A and B are shown apart, each in its own frame.
Chain A
Amino acid sequence: MSEAVASAGVIHHEETFLRKYLFSTDHKTIGKQYLITGIAMAILGGTLAILFRINLAHPGFLTNEQYNTFVTYHGAIMFFWVAMPILLGGFGNILIPLMIGARDMAFPTLNMFSYWVFFVSSVILIISFFVPGGAFSGGWTVYPPLSADPGRYLGANLGTVLFLLALALEFASMLMGGVNFITTVLTMRAKGLTLMRLPIFVWMEIVASLLFLFSVAPLIAGAIMLLLDIILGTHFFRVEAGKVGDPVLWQHLFWFFGHPEVYVILFPALGILFEVITTYSRRPVFSYKLVVYATIAAGILSFLVWAHHQFVAGINPLSAIAFSITTILISIPFSMTLVVMGLTFAGGSIRFTPAMLFAIFAFLMFIIGGLSGLPLGAVGSDIYFHDTYFVVAHFHYTVFTIAVLSTIAGIYHWFPKMFGRKINETFGKIHAWLTFIFYNGFAFPGFFLGLAGHPRRYYSALEFGYLQKYQWVHELMTVSAVLLLTTQVVFLFVFFYSIFAGAEEKSPNPWKSTTLEWLAPSPPPHLNWGSFAPVVERGPYEYAKNGKDIDYLPQGKLVKLKQPVSGHEH
C-alpha cells in the first residue's frame, strides 16, 4: 500500500497551518509552492536581464564585473530556478496525479522534501550573490579554469563555491522529483488507463524526468571534481606547470548534461501546448503515436549531440563532423512534432482564448527557434556563429518560449482548476499580444548581430570598430526587453489578484476538456477524488465526435467506491 494513502490517514487527524500550507504532502500544494517560488526567481532573473540590457544600450551603467555576474546569474536562474521548477515541479506535481487519476504522488514525503531542498538551494543562490569577494561571474556554463581558480581569475572564491553548492542541491531536488514522477506514472494509473492512453503532457513529463535522471549524473560527478579543485586545490580541470588537467573534460561533462537539459524543459512545454491546443481547437492530436515516438527518439538522440557546443573547442575535428550529423538528425523528430502540432489546428473550430493565443505564439516561435538551430548545428557555419549573438537569439527563441510563453499558456488554461477562480479574458488577450510583440522586438535583432559577428557576453559593443555601428540594435533590444518585463509584472499582479479575488469558477470543466483532471472538483480536495474513483474508458483526446450538440467525450467517468474515503477538504 502506498505512502500516499497512509499519509491520508495521518493527515486526517492534523489540521495545523504549518502542516496544511508549509509542510503539506499534498501534491497540489507542493506544485503551487514550486510555482510561486519559480515566479519569484523569474522576477529576480528578469530584473538582472533588464539591468545588463540597459548597460548594453548605455555602457557604463554597470561595472564589467557586475555585468558578467548578472549575465551568469540570469542564465543559471532562468534555466535551473525558473524553467525546471515551474514546468517539472509546478505543473508536473499538480497535473500528473490528476491526469492519471491517482490520489497523490507515490512518495508524498519525498515530494515535500524535494521542494524544501529546492527552496534552500534558491536561498543559497541568493546568499551567494552577496558574499565577500563578489558573486561568481564565469558564465552559467561554469567553464574552468575561470571557475577552477576563481580567486585568481575572477577574485570570487566563496561565491563560486556557494553557486556550485546551490546548483548541486537544485539537481538533487529535481532528481527526487523525477524518481517520484516515474514511479507514480508507472504504478498508480487509474483503471483502464494504459500507457498509450496517457495524455501527451504526462508522456512528456516522464521522458523529461528520465532524460534528467540519466544526464545529470555525469555533471554531478564533474561538479564534485570542480569543488575539489577549488577547495583542495586538485588539478582535475586546472592546468599548471607539470600538472595534468583538462578544461575540455569539464565541457564534455557539462554539455553531456546540458543538451538533454534543454529537452528536459522543452518536452513538458510541448506537452502543455498539446493539451491547450487540442482543447481550444476541438480537434484530437493529429497523430498521437507519432508524437510519442518522436519524443522518445529525440530523447535518445539528445544524448548523442552534446559536442555540438564545442565544435571549435579543441575536440577531434572528425568527431565534430559526426556530432554535426546527429545534430541535424535530431531536427527531424522535432519537425515532425511541430507539423503534427500544426495539423492539430486544422479542421477544428478555434477559440482564441488567452491560453490559445499564447499557445499559438509559442508554436510559431518554436518554428523560428528550431530552424535557427540549423546554422549552428551545421559545423561549417558554426565556425563563424559559435559564441556569437546568433546563439543568444536562437536559445532565447527556444528557451524563452518554453519558460514563459508555454508556461503562461498553461497557467491560463489550468488556473480555474488550480484555484477555482477565473482570470479576466480581455486582459489575457492584451497580455498575449503585447508579450508577443515585445518579445520579438528584443529577441529577433540578435540574429542580425550574430551575422555581424558580435560575440556573446560583451560588456559593450563600442570597443570594436566593426561593431560600433550596431549600437542602435542594442538600444532597440533594450527598450523591447524593458517593456516585456513590465508587461509580465502587470500580469503577475493580475494573477495574484485573481487567486484571491477573481470571479468564482462554478463548473469543474469550464473549457469542455476531456482529460481526467477536469472530472475532479476545482480546486480538487485533498486526495482528489473523495469517495469516488476515476475509471478510464477511452483515449485522452476524443474531440470532434458527433458534431452539433456535444463535441467531446470525457476520457473516463467517476465511480462510487464501496467504502467512502474521507480526506479533509481545503
Chain B
Amino acid sequence: MLPQDISQHGYLVDRVIKLSIWGIVVVGIVSFFIMFYILYKFRRTKNPFPLSDVPSGLKKVIFIDYVMIIFDLILLFMSTWAWFFFFVRPVEKIKKEVQEKGEKFVEVRVIGRQFFWTVEYPGRDGVFGTQDDFKLGNLLVVPEGYNVFVKLTSGDVLHSFFIPNARIKYDVIPGRETHLWFKPAKVGKYEIACAELCGAMHYRMKGYLVVLKEQDYKMWLDSAPFSEISFDYLDDDKIKFVKGGEVR
C-alpha cells in the first residue's frame, strides 16, 4: 500500500505507521470477537431472562484498557522519535552536523503559488543571490545521497509540500518560512503533491522530484535552466495532462 520509500530516513515514519496500523488491527479484531461472542451467547432466544450480574469471566475484558494504555505509550515513544528526527531539531543544527560529518548537501527554496511550485536553485556556486541563480516551475532536481534542505514560502495561500515517497510533509504558510530536510537515496522521478486545499486547481498542483546520479546532476546544473533533463533511468515519458479520464 505505502508508496516506495526513497529517502534515507523514511523508515522512521514507516515504522510508526506499521506499528500503529498493526496494533489497531489486532486490538480491533480481538474486541470484535469478544463482542460477537457476547451477542451470540446472550441472545434472547437462548437466554430469555437476563443474568443478575455480568459473568466474572467477561469482566476481565477490562484488560483491553490496559493493553490500550501500554500500546499508546509505545506508539508515543516511536512517533515522538520520528517527529524529533525530522522537525524538532532546528535546520541550522542539522546543517552543522552534516558539515561536521563531511556529508554533502544542497539547498533549494520552494515557493508555493496557485497552483504550482516554484523551485529556486542557488546555481553552480551553491549560494543564493548571485548571478547564476535560476528558477524552475514544478521541477525539483536533487543529487542522490545528498542532504536536501528545503526552505518553504508561499506566494498567496496555504499549501502543503508533500513528497509521499520521502514520507515528508509540511505546510507552506504565507508570511512565514518553514523548513524541510530529507536525504534521497534512490534515483528516479517521483511526484510532489499539495496536501492543503488551495483553490479550484488544488488537485493539479503537482511537482516532480527528480533524483539524479551525482555526475548527471552536475552535468544538468551546468546547462540549467536552458536544458531539459532526460536520462535513461528516468522513465521520462512526457507529462500528459489528464482530465475526465482520457489522455489528451
Contact = CB atoms under 8 A, between A and B. Distances in A.
Interface of A: 58-60, 64-65, 68, 137-139, 143, 145-146, 153-154, 239, 245-248, 281-283, 286, 311-314, 317-318, 320-321, 324-325, 328-329, 331-332, 335-336, 339, 342-343, 345-352, 360, 363-364, 367-368, 371-372, 374-375, 378-388, 448, 451-453, 455-460, 462-466, 543-545, 547-548, 551
A64 B86 CA distance: 34
B1 A448 contact: yes
Contact of B75 (A65, A286, A374): A374
A1 to B, nearest CB: 43
A460 B68 CA distance: 37
A345 B50 contact: no
Given A349-B48, A451-B1, A343 B178 contact: no
Interface string B6-35: 000000110011001101100110011011
Interface in B45-99: 47-55, 58-59, 61-62, 64-65, 68-69, 71-72, 75-76, 78-84, 86-88
Contacts of B20: 374-375, 378, 381
B79 A324 contact: yes
B120 interface: no
Contact of B43 (A248, A350, A460): A350
B199 to A, nearest CB: 6
B121 interface: no
A317 B170 CA distance: 12
A246 B171 CA distance: 14
Most buried by A among B47, B167, B195, B197: B197
Question: Which 7 A-B pairs rank lowest in CB-CB distance, beginning with the nearest?
Answer: A60-B244, A380-B79, A380-B82, A453-B164, A378-B79, A239-B175, A544-B50
Given A68-B200, A455-B193, A345 B32 contact: no
B21 A375 contact: yes
Contacts, number: 273
Nearest to A286: B54
A501 to B, nearest CB: 29
A543 B50 contact: yes
B193 A346 contact: no
Contacts of A458: 202-203
A347 B193 contact: no
B178 A463 contact: no
A360 B78 CA distance: 34
Contacts of A381: 13, 16-17, 20, 79, 82
Contacts of B82: 379-381, 383
A351 B54 contact: no
A464 B206 contact: yes
A153 B157 CA distance: 8
Contacts of B59: 343
B203 A345 contact: no
A350 B39 contact: yes
A59 B114 contact: no
Interface string B169-194: 11101111010000000000011011
A368 B204 CA distance: 32
Contacts of B231: none
A374 B42 contact: no
Given A325-B76, A352-B43, A551-B49, 18 more contacts: A64-B200, A146-B198, A239-B174, A246-B175, A247-B158, A314-B171, A317-B84, A347-B53, A349-B43, A349-B49, A349-B50, A371-B24, A375-B17, A375-B21, A379-B83, A386-B195, A387-B169, A544-B50
B245 A457 contact: no
5 contacts: A153-B114, A321-B80, A329-B72, A335-B65, A380-B16
Nearest to A353: B44
B83 A383 contact: yes
A363 B35 contact: yes
Contact of A345 (B35, B191, B243): B35
Contacts of B55: 346-347
Nearest to A310: B171
A382 B78 CA distance: 12
